[in-house]
Copies of this chain bind each other. A is one copy, B any other.
Amino acid sequence: MTKYVYLFKEGNANMRNLLGGKGANLAEMTNLGMPVPQGFTITTEACTRYYEDGKSIGADIQEQIDAALCKIEEINGKKFGDAKTPLLVSVRSGARASMPGMMDTILNLGLNDEVAAGLIAGNPDPKFERFVFDSYRRFIQMFSDVVMEIPKKTFEVIIDEIKEKKGVANDIDLDVNDMKELVARFKAYYKEQKGEDFPTDPKVQLMEAVKAVFRSWDNPRAIYYRRMNDIPSDWGTAVNVQPMVFGNLNDRSGTGVAFTRDPATGEKKLFGEYLINAQGEDVVAGIRTPSKIAQLEQDMPEVYAQFKTIAENLEKHYRDMQDMEYTIENGKLYMLQTRNGKRTAAAAIKIAVDLVNEGMITTDEAVLKVEPKQLDALLHPQFNAAALKKAKEIAVGLAASPGAACGMIYFTAEEAVAAAKTGKKVVLVRQETSPEDIEGMNHSQGILTARGGMTSHAAVVARGMGTCCVAGCNTLRVDEEKKTATFGDLVLHEGDWMSLDGSTGKVYAEAIETEDASVSGDFATLMGWADAARKLQVRTNADNPRDTAQAVKFGAQGIGLCRTEHMFFEGERIAAMREMILSETEEQRRTALAKILPYQKGDFKAMYKALEGRPMTVRYLDPPLHEFLPAKSMTAEIESIAKELGVSVEKINAKIDELHEFNPMMGFRGCRLAVQYPEIAEMQTRAVIEAAIEVKQEDGYDIHPEIMIPLVGAVKELAYVKKVVVDTANKVMEEKGVQLDVKIGTMIEIPRAAITADEIAKEAEFFSFGTYDLTQMTFGFSRDDAGKFLPAYYDRKIYESDPFAKLDQEGVGKLVQMAAKLGRETRPDIKLGICGEHGGDPASVMFCHKVGLNYVSCSPFRVPIARLAAAHAAILEKQGQL
C-alpha cells in the first residue's frame, strides 16, 4: 500500500519531492533534534491522487490521515476536539519548489464552542479568554475564505461595524466581548452565505482544509507563478498538519522570520524580523510593524541565543543561507520552517563566494547556487531605490527588456535621433517599432510601445541591444501626428519626461534617477569558476561594433550570429538598398549593391577588430525585401524616396504591391533572396572576405570567416548559394593574394532542414539552429500572431510556458536532436550551435549541453547568463543529475 502520510520524524530533507520543501525540512529539523511542533505531512502524491480521483480524497488516504492524527495526539498529549486538552493545528501547503504566498494556509483549526470553552477553562490568565476568541474568529474567517470561498474582506465589514459602534480604530482595541460578538456574527454570516452551520467537527474541518490546500495548487496565481518559474503542474503540493503554537499568547510570546545572511547584500549576519505577541499572519497583514530581530536579543536573550545557535547549525547543515520561521510561545522557541533563502543576485554571488572562502562548499557548488537568470539584474541600469519609492506609475506594459530608463519622449526615430544628438536623454514612444526605427532605438535610453508582445520587433531588438523596453502597453494611445501619448486622461507631449522599468513593465510620467549597476569582484570570481566548469562555448548575437565590444566585455567567445540586414537600415545605406530593390535588371542591382559594399565591409572590419581575433558567423541577408520599403499608406515617405532615387511614386507603389505577401514569415526571404538574386550573396561575400583580409593585414588577427546561409530547406538550395559564395571568395582571395580558411554553413530553422540534415551536412560545414523560426514553423504559429491565442492555451494548461522564451524540448528539441545526429553521421566534425534568444535561456542552454552542441549564441546582455547556465549543465552532468 502506498504511504501517503508521514510523521515529521519519519521523513528527511532528501524527501523533498514527496513531502514538499516545507515538510522535508520540518522532518530534517526534527531529526536534528530541533524544537519543532510534531505533526505530519500528506504527500504530493496524495495531491496527484486527489486530482486523478476527480477531486476527492480516497478512503486509504483518509485512513492514513486518521492514523497519523492519533499518533500526533499521543506525541503532543493533546486531543483533537477534546474539551480539556484540545489539539489545534495549522494546515499549510508545501510544494517541491518554494511558491511563497501562492497557495493557502489555515491556522487555529480544531476550534469550536466547546474547545474554546475548554481552552479558557484550562488557563487562568484573564487575557487568555480574549486570545481564544480572537483565534476563534480568525479561524472562522480563514476557513470560510480558503475552504468555502466566502471572501475574507466581507468579514472585515463586520469588524469595521463593531469598531465603528465602539468608536475605536484598531483590532487591538476590541475586548473579549467584542471578540465573542465577532465569533457569533461570523457564524451567522457563514450560515447566511452557505445555508448551513459552520462545521463544528474538527475532523470535518481538517479534511475540508486539506482539500482546500490541494485545490489551491490550481488557483490562478499558483498557475501563473508556476508558468513564470517553469514548475510543472503535475508536481502537486504536499500538506503539512502541525500542532499550533501561539505567538499571540502573551508578551513572552512572539513570532518572526530570519535569514542567516542578509538576502539583499549577502552580508554574513543574522537578519530578520520579530513581532511580539503576534501570529504569523499579523506580520503578513502589515497591521503592525515588526521589529528587527535584535529586539528579540534584548527581550529574551536566552531565546535569541538558542535561535542563533539553531540558525548557525541549520546553515552549516544545509550549507546554504537559511530562511527560517519561528514562534515563541510563553518563552519557548519553536521552529516552524527552514529553507534555502531567496536572495538578490548580488547576495547570491556574495554568499556563494563567501561559502567557498569559508570552506563550506566547493566552487562547483558555488556556481550552482546562483541562478543564471538572476544575473540579468546585475547587468542593466536600475532606478535609485529611494527615488523609485516616491514615483507613481501611470501604466504597466510587458517587461520586454530589463533595466531602467529615463528620458524625454519622442515619437519618431528621426526626432529621437535628432534630440539625442543635442545631448538629450530620449525615450522613444511608438505604436510599434519597425526595422527602420533601429537608429532611433539605438539612440534611446528606453523604448515604449503600445502594441506587440514579448517577441515583437521592439522587444527582440531592445533585448539584443540591452536597452530597456516596455512593450504592448495596452492603455497607451500614440498619436504620431499630434505628437501625444495618452494614458486615459493623461496626455503627454513631445519632450515630456518619462521613466520606464523594463524589469517590471512599469511606466512613469516623471524623471526618476537611475544608477548604473555595479559588478562586484565576487561576480568575476564566480564567473571564472563557471568558465572553468562549462563545456559549451558562448558566443553572442551582434551586428555592430558597440554590441560586439559589450559582449566581449561580458565574456563572449565570438559572434554566433551577425544579422547583416540591420546594417542596411541606417542613413545612406537604406537608399542604396531601396535602389537595389527597385532595380529592374541585374546590372542595376549590381550598381546599387556596389554602393552598399563599402558600408558593409566597413562594418565587418570594425566588428572583426572589436572581436580581437575571435570568430564571427555572418548570416546573409534574411528579411523579406518589403521591410526596406515604407508601408503604402506612408505617402510622404514614399514621395521623399521617389525624389531621392529619381523614380516615380507609381513605381515604388507597384514594387510595394509586388512585394506584398500573405504570409511574409513564409515568403520571399532568407536564402530565397540569394537564389533569386545571387549578386546579393556575391556582394556580401566580397565584403566579408575583403574585411577579413584587410583586418588580418592591419591588425594581424588570423580570421577564419564563417558564412551562414539562412532559411535553407533543401541541400540543393544550399549548394546553389554556396557555389556563388565559394566562387566569389576564391576570386577575392586571388585578387588580394591572401588565402583564408572560409567555412560555409547554414541555419537550421526550417523543419525540412532538420529532417534532411544528413543531406544538408554534405554541403554545410556548420549548423546554427535558428530555434526561433524553427519554433514558429514546428508549431505552425507566428510569433507576431500567437499572442492573441496563447493566453487561452495557458489558461487551459495546454502550454505551460512560452515556447519562444523556453525551447520546446519535446517537439522543437526533438528536431534539434534529430538534426544534430543526422548532421554528425554525415560530417562527424560538424560544428553545431544555437543562435536566437533561446541561447540565453538557462533551461534551453542546459538542453543544448545535453544534445552536445558546441556553442550557444545570445544577445550580449545574456552572455553571462548563458556562461553560468552552461556551467550548471556541465556540473549537474558531472554529478549525474542532468
A residues at B contact (CB < 8 Å):
661-668, 672, 675-676, 711, 713-714, 716-717, 720, 749-752, 755-756, 759, 773, 776-782, 784-786, 788-789, 792-793, 796-799, 808, 810-812, 814-815
Which one, B711, B714, B796, contacts A799 given CB within 8 A? B714
Complex CA distance for A306 and B675, rounded to whole angstroms: 57
Q: Which residues of B contact A796 (CB under 8 A)?
A: 675, 720
Q: Which of B667, B777, B784 contacts A751 (CB 8 A)?
A: B777
Given A675-B789, A713-B811, A798-B716, do A750 and B773 touch, yes or no (CB 8 Å)? Answer: no
Assess whether A668 is in contact with B784, with CB atoms less than 8 Å apart: no
Pair A784/B662 contact, Cβ less than 8 Å: yes
A666-B785, A792-B675 in contact; A751/B773 too (CB < 8 A)?
no
21 contacts across the A-B interface (CB closer than 8 A): A661-B782, A661-B784, A661-B785, A663-B665, A666-B666, A666-B782, A668-B789, A675-B792, A675-B798, A713-B778, A714-B798, A716-B798, A717-B798, A720-B798, A751-B778, A751-B780, A751-B811, A752-B780, A755-B778, A755-B814, A777-B777
A785 partner residues in chain B, CB cutoff 8 A: 661-664, 666-668
Cα distance A134–B756 in the bound complex, in angstroms: 57
Q: Which residues of B contact A808 (CB under 8 A)?
A: 752
CA distance A304 to B793 in the complex (A): 79
Pairwise interchain contact A713-B779, C-beta atoms closer than 8 A: yes
Looking at the assembled complex, report how far the CB atom of A450 sits from the nearest CB atom of chain B, in whole angstroms.
Answer: 13
With CB as the reference atom, state the residue of chain B lying closest to A676: B792
Q: Once the chains are docked, how many angstroms separate the CA of A756 from the CA of B813? A: 11
- A782-B663 contact given A756-B811, A756-B814, A798-B714, CB 8 Å threshold: yes
Contact of A782 among B662, B755, B812, B815 (CB under 8 A): B662
* Docked pose: A451 CA to B852 CA in angstroms: 48
Q: CA–CA, A752 to B779, complex, Å? A: 6
Point out the residue from B661, B776, B814 that lies within 8 Å of A666, measured CB to CB. B776
How near does chain B come to A482, taking the closest CB pair, in angstroms? 20
How many Å lie between the Cα of A773 and that of B776 in the bound state? 14
- List residues of chain B with CB within 8 A of the CB of A812: 752
Q: How far is the CB of A807 from chain B (nearest CB, A)?
A: 13
Are B714 and A781 in touch, CB under 8 angstroms?
A: no
The listed residue (B675, B720, B780, B784) touching A711 by CB distance below 8 A is: B780
Please indicate the chain B residues that have their CB under 8 angstroms from the CB of A750 in the complex: 778-780
Chain B residues with Cβ below 8 Å from A672 are 781, 789, 792
Instruction: Known pairs A667-B785, A751-B780, A752-B778; list 17 more (Cβ under 8 Å).
Output: A663-B664, A663-B665, A667-B781, A667-B788, A675-B796, A711-B780, A713-B811, A716-B797, A717-B798, A749-B780, A750-B778, A751-B777, A751-B778, A752-B808, A752-B812, A755-B815, A777-B778
Which residue on chain B has the smallest CB distance to residue A718? B798
Chain B contacts of A662 at CB under 8 A? 664-665, 782, 784-785
Interface centre among A777, A779, A780 (most CB of B within 10 A): A780
Task: List the B side residues contacting A781 at CB < 8 Å.
Answer: 666-667, 672, 713
Least CB distance from A196 to B in Å reads 30
Instruction: Using CB atoms, name the residue of chain B closest to A678.
Output: B796
A82–B871 CA distance with the chains assembled, in angstroms: 83
Please give me the 6 A-B residue pairs with the lowest Cβ-Cβ distance, nearest first: A663-B782, A666-B782, A667-B785, A750-B780, A752-B811, A662-B784
Complex Cα distance A351/B91, Å? 87
Is the beta-carbon distance between A666 and B663 smaller than 8 angstroms? Answer: yes
Give the distance in Å from the alpha carbon of A808 to the alpha carbon of B661 in the complex: 24
Q: Which residue of B lies closest to A660 (CB)?
A: B785
* Cα of A793 to Cα of B718 in the assembled complex, Å: 12
Taking the nearest CB of chain B, how far is it from the CB of A67, in angstroms? Answer: 37
How many Å lie between the Cα of A676 and that of B795 in the bound state? Answer: 10
In Å, the complex CA distance between A811 and B792 comes to 32
Q: What distance in Å separates the Cβ of A214 from its nearest Cβ neighbour in chain B?
A: 21
- A798 CB → nearest B CB, Å: 4
Name the B residues within 8 Å of A815 (CB-CB).
Answer: 751, 755
- Bound state CA distance, A789 and B780, in angstroms? 21
Q: In whole Å, how far is A826's beta carbon from the nearest beta carbon of chain B?
A: 14
Question: In whole angstroms, what is the CA distance A781 to B667 when docked?
Answer: 6
User: Nearest Cβ in chain B — how far from A99, in angstroms?
Assistant: 22
B751 touches A782 (CB 8 A): no
Closest to A780 in B: B750
Closest residue of chain B to A818 (Cβ to Cβ) is: B755
Q: Smallest Cβ distance from A93 to chain B, in angstroms?
A: 25
Instruction: Report the Cα distance A780→B752, complex, angstroms.
Output: 8
Q: Please indicate the chain B residues that have their CB under 8 angstroms from the CB of A776 in the complex.
A: 666
- Bound-state CA distance A793–B668 (Å) is 12
Query: Please, how many angstroms separate the alpha-carbon atoms of A823 and B789 in the complex?
Result: 27
Residue of B nearest to A800 (CB): B716
Report A506 CB to chain B, min CB distance, Å: 26
A676 to B755, CA, bound (A): 32
Q: How far is the CB of A395 from chain B (nearest CB, A)?
A: 21
How far is the CB of A136 from the nearest CB of chain B, in Å? 42
| A750-B779, A792-B675, A810-B756 given; A784·B716 CB < 8 A | no
CB closest residue in chain B, given A785: B667
Please, how many angstroms separate the alpha-carbon atoms of A750 and B815 in the complex? 13
A775 CB to nearest chain B CB (Å): 9
Could you say which residues of chain B place their CB within 8 Å of the CB of A664? 662-663, 785
Are A663 and B751 also in contact (CB < 8 A) when A675-B792, A811-B714 are?
Answer: no
Bound together, the chains give a CA A421 to CA B202 distance in angstroms of 79
- List the B side residues contacting A782 at CB < 8 Å: 661-663, 666-667
Q: Which residues of B contact A676 (CB under 8 A)?
A: 789, 792
- Once the chains are docked, how many angstroms separate the CA of A793 from the CA of B672? 9
**A629 CB to nearest chain B CB (Å):** 15
- Least Cβ distance of A764 to chain B in Å? 15
With CB as the reference atom, state the residue of chain B lying closest to A796: B720
Task: Name the CB-closest residue of B to A670.
Answer: B780
Q: How far is the CA of A664 from the CA of B780 in the complex (A)?
A: 10
Complex CA distance for A756 and B664, rounded to whole angstroms? 27
Q: How far is the CA of A676 from the CA of B796 in the complex (A)?
A: 9
- Chain B residues, Cβ within 8 Å of A711: 780
Q: How far is the CA of A667 from the CA of B662 in the complex (A)?
A: 12
Query: Which residues of B have CB within 8 Å of A797?
Result: 716
Residue of B nearest to A808 (CB): B752
Considering the chains assembled together, what is the distance between the CA atoms of A675 and B778 in angstroms?
19
Contact (A788, B756) CB under 8 Å given A717-B793, A793-B717, A798-B720: no
A780: chain B residues within 8 A (beta carbon): 666, 711, 713, 749-752, 773, 777
Q: Give the distance in Å from the alpha carbon of A640 to the alpha carbon of B229 in the complex.
A: 50
Contact A755 B675, beta carbon cutoff 8 Å: no
Question: Which chain B residues border A786 with CB–CB below 8 Å?
Answer: 667
Closest to A714 in B: B798
A344 vs chain B, min Cβ distance (A): 36
Q: Which residue of B lies closest to A793 (CB)?
A: B675
Shortest Cβ distance from residue A708 to the other chain B in the assembled complex, whole angstroms: 16
Least CB distance, A233 to chain B, in whole angstroms? 10
- How far apart are A309's CB and chain B's nearest CB, in angstroms? 50
CA distance A810 to B752 in the complex (A): 9
Cα distance, A432 to B750, chains bound together (Å): 29
Q: Which residues of B contact A789 (CB under 8 A)?
A: 668, 672, 675-676
**Docked pose: A133 CA to B671 CA in angstroms:** 55
Cα distance A171–B496 in the bound complex, in angstroms: 91
CB of A616 to closest CB in B, whole Å = 26
- Closest residue of chain B to A776, judged by CB? B666
A315 to B824, CA, bound (A): 53
In whole angstroms, how far apart are the Cα atoms of A781 and B808 in the complex?
22
Bound together, the chains give a CA A789 to CA B773 distance in angstroms of 20
**Contact assessment for A666 and B665 in the assembled complex, using a CB-CB cutoff below 8 Å:** yes
Beta-carbon nearest neighbor of A672 in chain B? B789
